[in-house]
Structure 1
């Protein structure tokens, strides 16, 4: 039997740029976590923003199942990228494997993260300061980028995060 040719292309600057654009343009993502009680994967939709170094972060409530899951097991993944008209599989999307890290309420960067988040999600002002809410960085470890049909790439953390202007 002949060897199957890999469909994964070598990661180039164009792939890195597309990956970063998908992350920078995402207002929300589908976040996958592992339920600590059952071990089953679970998916939620969460609002997202990027910190100054380009690392995604989310605002979470202790009431949310995905928060409890991330606190029990920080491994997670998320998908970003919006389908346009026509076939949704023809549009670029990225799946990022990551580790969640809670930002302490008294962390010196928290006020800056709060301002960034409110800039992207002004309606969150209604609840952002509730005592059960906190930020979690979703630190990329690696990613799978699908730039449309026939354009698949594997990326590492260094390919994804770039300082946000």
Structure 2
């Protein structure tokens, strides 16, 4: 009697093409879907957040202390972040996307890194000039701890933080 063939692992070995695609998705992202856990209920919450590069290549989001995801990140620094948007044509699932697990590090106004982050943020998000100096806003540096890249149909990869820099 023959044994059933075990399913083939759909995850490909990470290569330079996958690294370059993941790095491009991060570098070009100006928004993403951020998943956190509601501190009151423990239920998952997904919100859209603005994103941008920091002066040292960090992945930043600029948040209000009034937002539910901010409260959640201050209590549990772990989050999920989805980057990549479907194109205008074709099946949305064939377009590249990157799912990151991140550790969110708060950068408040009194942090020495804040002024350079503020300047860089304004260069990429000029409309944020309307609220960037409001006292309840600050940055989170979203540091990747792992990632899953779907580069399109049949192109799945697991990536490490080193693959993303």
Q: TM-score, normalized by length of structure 2?
A: 0.94
Displacement of 1:53: 3.7
- Aligned residues: CA RMSD: 0.9
Counterpart position of 1:33 = 36
SS of aligned partner of 2:61: strand
Deviations 1:98-120 (A, max 9, x none): 01110131222111111111111
**Partner residue in 2 for 1:19:** 22
Q: For the structure 1 residues 158 and 52, does the alpha-carbon distance in structure 2 shift closer, same or farther, using more than 3 Å as the test?
A: farther
Deviation digits for residues 37-70 of structure 1, max 9, x if unmatched? Answer: 1111100001001224432111010110000000
Count of matched residue positions in the alignment of Structure 1 and Structure 2? 161
**What are the within-5 Å matches in structure 2 for residues 75-154 of structure 1?**
75-84=78-87, 85-154=89-158
C-alpha separation in 1, matches of 2:100 and 2:56: 16
Runs of 4 or more above 4 Å deviation = none
Unaligned runs of 5+ in 1: none
In structure 2, what is the Cα distance between the partners aligned to 1:16 and 1:73? 28
Could you report, residue by residue, the CA deviation over 1:69-120 in whole angstroms, capped at 9, with x for unpaired residues?
0001111011111110211111000000001110131222111111111111
Max Rg structure: 2
Q: Structure 1-normalised TM-score?
A: 0.94
Other structure's SS at 1:130 match: coil
Structure 2 unaligned regions, length at least 5:
none
